[in-house]
A and B are shown apart, each in its own frame.
Chain A
Amino acid sequence: MTSTQWTRVRSRRLRRAGLNGLGLLVALVTLFPIFWMVSTAFKPATEIYSLTPHPLPAHPTLANFRTVIDGSVIGIPYWNFLKNSLFVTLVSVAASSLIAMLAAIALARFRFRFRTSYLIMLLIVQMLPQQALVIALFLDFRRLSLLDSLVGLIGVYTAFALPVTIWMLRNFVATVPRELEQAAAIDGAGPLRVFWRILLPLTAPGLVATSVFAFIFAWNEFVFALTFLGTDTAKYTLPIYVQYFYGRGSVDWGGIMAASTLFTIPVMVFFLIVQRRMVNGLVAGAVKG
């Protein structure tokens, strides 16, 4: 090899090392807040409020998790809030997936008047500010005695998840070849049978992706839960519980970080499981057709 070739190889290696170093830096800076949350959750109070913060707990403890789980601070154990969150989330995910599936079939398989208008309406509705609509919904729910009730929250989560879930599912339904359905219909299968035997199995991955989206939306939602569940602490969902824990004046950061860790980890696990679909789905829903 000539010396110029050597220089070129060396400069390419140098650039590669530089890029990797930059990547590493971006990843570490991005991970730091999450790392700090988990690390604080395992620290005893003396280390949390020490004058020199250390990255890792010197004497890791489960005390913070214990206060959260047995509820010795608020008086209500963590399981109560977990149960509320799971109930609201699972029911609204099931409802919105079912409703979105019906709408997606209509939008992907039929040509009819108002079809384009409906699609545009969904795009617009998705952008309406929730902190504005919550004012009217609060007054409606008050009249209907749906305040301090998880049922009202389920209805709102179902409706607000629909625009995106319909968009995502529509793209998945559109990828199923129409010929498959026609062949089944010619063989004597009715519409319901075609749905169960052909459309549902083939759109199952899409349905998983949409359900995960609806799950994350309902699990994380803050404004509606904050407003509708105002006075009844036992009805709180996890985000409101974490916020309530934090807003209580004398701040117990170890406990808050433990509660926040328990609340965050399920979402992260979900996210990593479906990350590729999630990205594709969101990009497909938000950007491309």
Chain B
Amino acid sequence: MVKTVSGQPGGSPAGLRPRPKNQAGSRNPAGRVFGSGPAGQYTARERTAALIRRRHLAPYILLLPSMLAIGALVLWPAVQIGLFSFQSYGLPQVTGAAATDWIGAGNYTAILSDPEFWLSLRISLIFAAVVVPLTLLTGTLVGLLLNRLGRRMATFVSGAALLAWATPAVSASVIFVWLADPDGGVVDWTLSRLPHWLGGGAHWASFSWTNSALPAYTLLTVLLLWQGFPFIAVTVLAGLKTVPAELHESARVDGAGPWRIFWRVTYPLLKPIFLVLLLLSVIWDFGVFTQVYIVIGELGNRDEYNLGIYAYDRAFTQPPSYGAASALAFILTVVLLIITVGYVRASIKQGAIN
């Protein structure tokens, strides 16, 4: 309970003149007029409340904690990455043995002539270019299937998809590495027993999927497809539910097949959703870290790095070069931000910001 005005210097002594009830509490915002009467009549707390109301400060005060947390732990590090990328930043700078060493664009010019950077960038780009369409296609097909299944079957299939979606990245990665293990893994066992015309054969026995880039990223493609299609399927299904059934019905009556119905009716209506899903998938698959880190067996084999892993390696493999790592991280961030701008614009178009 906030103290009442009486009893304060300048007011009448407590108990002599009981205040009317609706004025007793500054808890009642509607029942009070601030700024009337001599200033001394109000406690500091009431004056603050009046200031907040007069200046419309309430929303800013409510936003302050989130602003501080995001500012200090997300935005400031992003700015720092930019700053570090123009410095030579190694162990001497960390321990304080050497001062801050600005080297201009030195890290960037070094990166441009670094074959390992180009390799990692190529891997990131090709991987996203393969996994994104594959995930979108599979997710959309499963979404369309879910929409046509009976209630019980749809629940079963979407339940299975949800479990794949719910599997943490670390668990999913170790499961897939185990499935593709050269000693006792079920993938090599199956492939070595498949008939020759299906690509099988004895040469698959004890085949290692993680020791070089192509097999490792093939495994990662299946892994990310498995983890990624449920979100697409569920989102597409939610979009399909908003399409009026009469539209499909009348198209069918007019003699359109399923292929034509999808491209002429469903796709145009769900286009905004597809755009958002496409951009989100690109952001996720271009920036994938955890799964790659585990499948390629931690750091060490630079032929298997994508851009994010390469940046991380330069920062955390001895001797650390935080400047070069920051430049790589900054390039990664800028690429993702460019895609994010598209995502934000698509979201605004959809009316997400109002």
Contacts and interface: CB of A to CB of B under 8 A. Distances in A.
B63 interface: yes
Interface stretch (B5-13, B111-119, B147-155): B147-155
A193 B27 contact: yes
A34 B167 contact: yes
A138 to B, nearest CB: 7
B316 to A, nearest CB: 7
A271 B168 CA distance: 11
Contacts of B84: 135-136, 139
Contacts of B142: 26
B226 interface: yes
Contacts of A189: 27-28
B336 A131 contact: no
Interface string A117-161: 011111111011111111111111010000000000001101110
Given A136-B81, A247-B298, A36 B186 contact: yes
A48 B178 CA distance: 10
Given A34-B163, A110-B59, A131-B287, A163 B184 contact: no
Contact of A119 (B26, B62, B160, B353): B353
Interface string B322-344: 10011001101100110110011
B176 A33 contact: yes
B73 A33 contact: no
Given A34-B163, A128-B336, A135 B311 contact: yes
Contacts of B27: 188-190, 192-193
A222 B171 contact: no
A120 B353 contact: yes
Given A22-B145, A139-B94, A116 B77 contact: no
Q: Most chain-B Cβ atoms within 10 A of its Cβ — which of A100, A121, A139?
A: A139
Given A33-B226, A106-B58, A138-B315, A128 B78 contact: yes
Q: Report whether over half of chain A's contact residues are helix, strand or loop; otherwise say mixed.
A: helix
Interface stretch (B36-44, B261-269, B289-297): B289-297
**Sorted from nearest, which 5 A-B pairs have the closest CB atoms?**
A190-B27, A132-B329, A106-B62, A159-B73, A271-B166
Interface of A: 16, 19-20, 22-24, 26-28, 30-31, 33-34, 36-37, 40, 48-50, 52-53, 98-100, 102-103, 105-107, 109-110, 112, 115-116, 118-125, 127-140, 142, 155-156, 158-160, 162-163, 166, 185-186, 188-193, 216, 219-220, 222-223, 226-227, 239, 242-243, 246-247, 251, 253, 256-257, 260, 263-264, 267-268, 270-272, 275, 279-280, 282-283, 286-289
20 contacts: A20-B150, A23-B156, A26-B142, A34-B175, A102-B63, A124-B340, A129-B329, A137-B77, A138-B316, A162-B70, A222-B170, A242-B170, A251-B181, A260-B171, A260-B174, A260-B175, A271-B165, A283-B235, A288-B352, A289-B351
Given A26-B145, A128-B78, A135-B84, 13 more contacts: A30-B163, A33-B226, A106-B60, A119-B353, A125-B75, A127-B343, A135-B312, A137-B73, A239-B170, A246-B294, A271-B166, A272-B166, A289-B353
